[in-house]
Amino acid sequence: MEGLAGYGWDAIAVAFGISLLAGISTGVGGLIVALKSTPSNTFLAGALGFSTGVMVYISLVEMLPEAAEEVGGPSAVAAFFAGVGLIALIDRLVPEEVNPHEEHVAASSPALARAGTMTGLAIALHNFPEGFASFMSALADPVLAAPIALAIAIHNVPEGVAVAAPLREATGKKWRAAGWATLSGLAEPAGALIGFLLLLPFLGPSTLGLAYAAVAGIMVFISFDKLLPSAIHTGHHHHCVYGVVGGMAVMAVSLLLLP
């Protein structure tokens, strides 16, 4: 049975489910805060580096070339940098003092509560295009989208920590703080659904090719603006580099093994 825009309902459900799982991984960060268990900086550096390697390799080696085959090289490149420009604009619209990817310190309880709330809103704004990226990737190729969703999920965990930690310290309500962290991640499935519905009247091979290239641009920007700096900030940049190379190697082998 065919669903929207000629896609089977099963394919749409799988794509949405992948986006949902990636988004709610912010709740894992909230859970870490609630349980007061913190992963080591070495692990974070390697995991975030691995996510960077996965997303950059897939974007440049698989997604962009596929888009170029569909719409031509110049159009694919233009769409790629349009995706970069879109996510960069969204990033610039978030004030630096509440941007979860900028360092800032809040000492008092009211300031901590405000920091947690505003960080949650900022993360939701950032997660919106990420949800669309994971959804469109899954719609085009669920097998290829699985590592993309995993990479997004890994980097969402520290974001959940960034939301929940100040709220827990300010209110003393650790499970409510974890709940807000989870809620901020739901912007990803919302972005998936809204983005798909907006594109629905225009969906076709060319539109999907352009969207695929734009998604590649979004993911490359996320990797270099969010994942890599966060990994390096742990102070274990060698583990970060090992993770990047490892992520690329895993994706290279998996793509070679794909039928």
Which residues fall in the annotated binding site for Fe(2+)? 127, 130, 156, 159, 188
Binding residues for Zn(2+): 130, 155, 159
Annotated binding-site residue numbers:
127, 130, 155-156, 159, 188
Q: What type of residue sits at position 47?
A: A
| Three state DSSP letters for the chain | CECHHHCEHHHHHHHHHHHHHHHHCHHHHHHHHHHCCCCCHHHHHHHHHHHHHHHHHHHHHHHHHHHHHHHCHHHHHHHHHHHHHHHHHHHHHCCCCCCCCCCCCCCCHHHHHHHHHHHHHHHHHHHHHHHHHHHHHHHHCHHHHHHHHHHHHHHHHHHHHHHHHHHHHHHCCHHHHHHHHHHHHCHHHHHHHHHHHHHHHHCCHHHHHHHHHHHHHHHHHHHHHHHHHHHHHCCCHHHHHHHHHHHHHHHHHHHHHCC
